[in-house]
Amino acid sequence: MSSVSASLWHIVPENSSTTAIAAFRRVPCCVDGRKLASRNARRRALRLRADEKPWGNVKAVTSPDCDGPMTATGRSNVPILSGSEVVERLKAFHENRTGEQNYSAMYSSIFGGITTDSAAMVIPMDDHMVHRGHGVFDTAAIMDGHLYELDQHLDRFLTSASMAKIQLPFDRSTIRSILIQTVSASKCMQGSLRYWLSPGPGDFLLSPSGCPNPALYAIVIEGSSLPVCSGVKVITSSIPMKSQQFAVMKNVNYLPNALSKMEAEENGAFAAIWLDDEGFVAEGPNMNVAFVTADKELLMPYFSKVLSGCTAKRVLSLAEELVADGRLSGIKLRNITVQEGKTAEEMMLIGSGIVVKPVLQWDDHVIGAGEEGPVAQSLFELILDDMKHGPPSVRTSVPY
């Protein structure tokens, strides 16, 4: 491998501002065995590479903390900050951030407590969850001061940790108590709780054998509005689905999921639907899929190749009420072909963040009458009522 220059040149799309960093490539000092003695030569080499690969236009990007571009020596005036200066800048960053989500509390086993200061909600870079993707996570909705299906999500969380060979820093009851206390400290009455387990910090090697203390993190995300039962469009994803071993485990490697979601957005859709290795309907990027046939049967794919959705399982349970009153003829888990899905009377996405969301169009096919179906709307109302008034088995009171 050739040596690498000290200069960093960023590859920025044409429609990006010069302060936005999309990605970067390091320019080698040698190309095909020829030493590039000058910085201009390296620039020319980069232009040649840009011609060879679809990287986009090349622009030099200057950080707001740097005094101008790179100097002739390849160095720039990047400030060296003290710990207190870093804290000040983190606070300023969070005060000026424009994101829609607010984080009201975080627990970290690294500092052994809960903080409500968003600037302190950080994790170590050498945590293997960060640089190796070795971690698992789960979530639970907060509704009217109660955690919805906390125990069901926690069971899946611990199963995922076992599959990922991550040791627990505490026993189940302690983890459960920490999660409830974190929500209590947040004062959040409506939103969501998200939590992670990792081998913890230790080094930047591949194996986690150098990580002596597994880590638990949790964060509370405030939510100001309830989900709505509005119809959406979906497409078939071209992004390869995770293999079965990783699809059934809620791990932090969500790059395929993120790319699938981005693909949908680029095509004016809400989500992209994955097909499994046999061509059957699988799932969305972070939600399960269900259908209602012309015979009023509720269908959902087997959970053997997709994530076992806690909300989806609760929907299957509550849907028995629709069977009892005749709105459904039955409920079945089975393989579902794309043709069956696209010709169904109703299609819906199911997940803890969206609850139940009707699908009105899949690719170029209109689903049913092209409007929100009665079964999807009924299931949405049943889940929402369950979140607000369900039994103690699905609602955990938070002591604020």
- Give the active site residues: 250
Tell me which amino acid residue 206 is. L
How do 346-351 and 30-31 pair as beta strands?
A: unpaired
How do 355-362 and 232-236 pair as beta strands?
A: parallel
Contact 116, 107 (CB under 8 A): no
- CA pair distance 314, 305, nearest whole angstrom: 19
The DSSP output letter for 373 is -
Helix axes 172-186, 150-163, angle to 10 degrees: 130
Contact 295, 261 (CB under 8 A): no
If one counts every other C-beta atom within 10 angstroms of the C-beta of residue 161, the result is 25
Helix axes 310-318, 374-389, angle to 10 degrees: 110
- CA pair distance 72, 354, nearest whole angstrom: 53
CA distances from 368 to 245, 260, 294, 320, 360 (A): 34, 25, 9, 22, 8
Tell me which amino acid residue 139 is. T
For 49-156, where are the E strands, in sequence order? 58-59, 103-108, 113-115, 136-143, 146-148
Contact 328, 200 (CB under 8 A): no
Q: For the chain, first and last CA: distance in Å?
A: 58
Pinpoint the alpha helices (H) of 27-109.
39-52, 83-96
The 3-state secondary structure of 272-339 reads: EECECCCCCECCCCCCEEEEECCCCEEEECCCCCCCCCHHHHHHHHHCHHHHHCCCCCEEEECCCCHH
